[in-house]
Chain A
């Protein structure tokens, strides 16, 4: 069973895990947002280009 009694080292171990979780959360959110934003923009522009006759040849 996991043992969460960290004694005198708790002040170093919990921040290490908290910072790791925060960095992962930022990387995941930034990566998903980047992909979603550009996908929406690419699809909107492609549709607009197709409507104006400037679609892919």
Chain B
């Protein structure tokens, strides 16, 4: 078995690591977003989409990152369930609201692109519907964690939900190939499918979104560690 780095398993070392890593990822995200937006808004209008191609630079990264976050949520849930590791549970709990936010962004920006291009705000297309299910999974995870007083039981139930829900990820990815879909197929990672003038800003924005998520995730995990320390201190005082 590959040993995990100490900063991922030891809360004290994680707090020391995240103290500098969170602002560093935040700064990287800001720089990449400035570069991506500058390049994106300097790109010429697309011959088919016209100026709406500008929405792609914020829609596609949100759609990819919301899936990446769910994969992290499911992975952290598995580790929390199997090894009962506190940091893994904190990581899962911290990822869910961020994932919900990024999924909401993907849905809204996609809708604002779909109206002028497809003539509809929403269609019950396989890709759109499966991303909506992903959003509902995030909401269900958050609701489940908030609804049970016993935190250990809530964490276990939510972890099982997160792991079962991971099945939605391949469905989202392959939905455009399995079913007749209005939504276009993957072009970002297909060689030659995207002109460099659009590919570069898209990659810069994807990297910016990933860095922003990394920064916010670390900040939220730190908050969770502090919350558990506060509750442990309150419990010790009540017992004393």
Contact = CB atoms under 8 A, between A and B. Distances in A.
Interface of A: 1-10, 12-13, 15-17, 19-20, 23-24, 26-28, 30-32, 34-39, 41-42, 45-46, 48-49, 52-56
Contacts of A17: 54, 58
A16 B41 contact: no
B237 A49 contact: yes
Contacts of A35: 219-220, 222-223, 226
Interface in B82-134: 97-98, 101, 104-105, 108-109, 112-113, 115-116
SS class, residues of chain A in contact with chain B: helix
Given A17-B58, A49-B236, A31 B223 contact: yes
A16 B42 contact: no
Interface of B: 37-38, 41-42, 44, 50-52, 54-55, 58-59, 62, 97-98, 101, 104-105, 108-109, 112-113, 115-116, 212, 216, 219-220, 222-224, 226-227, 229-230, 233-234, 236-237, 239-240
11 contacts: A3-B44, A6-B54, A19-B112, A23-B105, A27-B216, A34-B219, A35-B219, A39-B222, A39-B226, A41-B226, A42-B229
Nearest to A56: B236
Given A27-B98, A38-B227, A42-B230, A52 B237 contact: yes
